[in-house]
Amino acid sequence: MTPILRVAALGDGVTADGRHAALAAPGDWLNDDGSVTPGPHHQTPPCRHFPQCGGCQLQHLDDASYAAFVADRVASALDGQGLSAPVRAPLVSPPDTRRRATLHADKGLLGFTAAQSHAIVDLRECHILAPALLALVAPLRSLLQRMGLKRRADVHLTLADQGADILVTGFAPEGLKAAETLNDFCAKHGVARFAVDGGDGPETRWEPQPVTITLGGIPVGLPPASFLQATCEGEAALVAAVREATTGAKTVADLFAGLGTFALALPAKVYAAEGARDALMALKLAANARQRPVFAEHRDLYRRPLTVAELNRFDAVVIDPPRSGAREQAAALAQCLVKRIAYVSCNPSSFARDAKLMVDAGWRIDWVQPVGQFRWSTHVELAACFSR
């Protein structure tokens, strides 16, 4: 018997001699016949769909070993680039708090896909989704069937200020009967918005009041399918880290600003750059309505990253790129003279790659705050503070 020491990036348990075992927690034992004997950190997975459902990979880890996994993902990504930094205790979102998820529908089924497969796991319970979204899963399954869903469609759920915001892509039912069925459904379940996208972009079919999401205390119009941090707790953890990293800065550049999660939460004059035009417009309108000092620019930061001279006009920079990171922008950040940089990332590997460029140019990583918004999954986020 060999003890499992840690959990690898994709979720397998790993022994000291490098053997991998599926569904093994640190402290479990890998037996010679390949079976696993549970140890003290192995918990009974709370959900009947685990491990078939691809939504969660690590429900068999107790809270302590899941938190250790989140911190270890960050530390080992840094280590892989030969970097070291103080890694803070991870902040993991509680169960039942996910406010954004994409489910898949086909042949009367509605749920997440199975791990590494397109097969749909028909969702009958879920321990990550916010209860208001989970409550809609069974009614939506029946609605899509009644409306004659013939081909596979995706169902994007978001919990907005007014309630559930639903976008179905790959299905756009037509006709009076369909419209009535949809309206009855939305009225009965208090849906905030129902949009469909048959291939020509989202088309709103129900939205009794404009749908918003409150960021930094300000309601921001929420375009369908916009980016939003996955849980309120995760958002709060990232905002607190970014505020701490930019303390004292009077002018801040917020790069990949989205709807303004950080721009609207900072006590500073903020220049916000974002590539999605509808998100940018929503941020601009919200900031103007409340006379917040946010100057928002539509800009493709991969093709046209801020130059060193542009960056040097700010006291601090916040950057929160997509999963692939921001190699081009990081090259200019490495050379610039701002006092502090807050780097928020949903991918420790691309973060570590960009951080290496900056450290090689003389930056220091003061701390890294791991954030587990996708509880029980292998997705890990972080916020890091850089100074010279």
Ligand X SMILES: C[S@@+](CC[C@H](N)C(=O)[O-])C[C@H]1O[C@@H](n2cnc3c(N)ncnc32)[C@H](O)[C@@H]1O
**Residue stretches of the annotated binding site for S-adenosyl-L-methionine:** 229, 256, 274, 320
- Structure tokens of 232? 């309120």
Q: Does 227 bind ligand X (CB under 6 A)?
A: yes
Single out the residue of 229, 350, 369, 373 in contact with ligand X (rule: CB under 6 A): 229
Q: d(Cα 78, Cα 87) in Å, to the nearest integer?
A: 10
Single out the residue of 52, 76, 251, 302 in contact with ligand X (rule: CB under 6 A): 302
CB of 263 to ligand X, least distance (A): 8
By CB atoms closer than 10 A (0-12, 13-18, 19+), residue 117 is exposed
Q: Does 300 bind ligand X (CB under 6 A)?
A: yes
Sole window of 16-24, 49-57, 107-115, 315-323 interacting with ligand X (rule: CB under 6 A): 315-323
Q: Does 222 bind ligand X (CB under 6 A)?
A: no
Site string for ligand X, 329-348 (x = CB under 6 A): -----------------x--
Single out the residue of 129, 279, 341, 384 in contact with ligand X (rule: CB under 6 A): 279
CB of 217 to ligand X, least distance (A): 15
Sole window of 20-28, 86-94, 150-158, 253-261 interacting with ligand X (rule: CB under 6 A): 253-261
Q: Does 194 bind ligand X (CB under 6 A)?
A: no
Active site members? 346
**Residue stretches of the annotated binding site:** 229, 256, 274, 320
Site string for ligand X, 254-273 (x = CB under 6 A): --xxxx-xx-----------
Q: Does 280 bind ligand X (CB under 6 A)?
A: no
Beta carbons of 157 and 100 less than 8 angstroms apart: yes
Beta carbons of 128 and 173 less than 8 angstroms apart: no
The total of other beta-carbon atoms located within 10 Å of residue 32's CB is 7
Q: Does 274 bind ligand X (CB under 6 A)?
A: yes
- Interface positions, 5-34, toward ligand X (CB under 6 A): none
Beta carbons of 53 and 121 less than 8 angstroms apart: yes
The total of other beta-carbon atoms located within 10 Å of residue 304's CB is 12
- Structure tokens of 214? 């409150």
Look at residue 53 and give its three-state secondary structure: strand
Buried b or exposed e, range 277-294, using 16+ CB within 10 angstroms: ebbbebbbebbeeeebeb
Q: Does 245 bind ligand X (CB under 6 A)?
A: no
Single out the residue of 191, 301, 306, 311 in contact with ligand X (rule: CB under 6 A): 301
Binding residues with ligand X: total (CB under 6 A): 19
Q: d(Cα 212, Cα 284) in Å, to the nearest integer?
A: 14
Phi-psi region of 79 (alpha: psi -120 to 50; beta: other; left: phi over 0): alpha
- Among residues 374, 310, 354, 355, which one has the least CA distance to residue 336? 310
Q: Does 381 bind ligand X (CB under 6 A)?
A: no
Beta carbons of 1 and 32 less than 8 angstroms apart: yes
Closer of 182 and 371 to ligand X (Cβ) = 371
- Interface positions, 116-145, toward ligand X (CB under 6 A): none
Which residues contribute to the site for ligand X (CB under 6 A)? 227, 229, 256-259, 261-262, 274-276, 279, 300-302, 320-322, 346
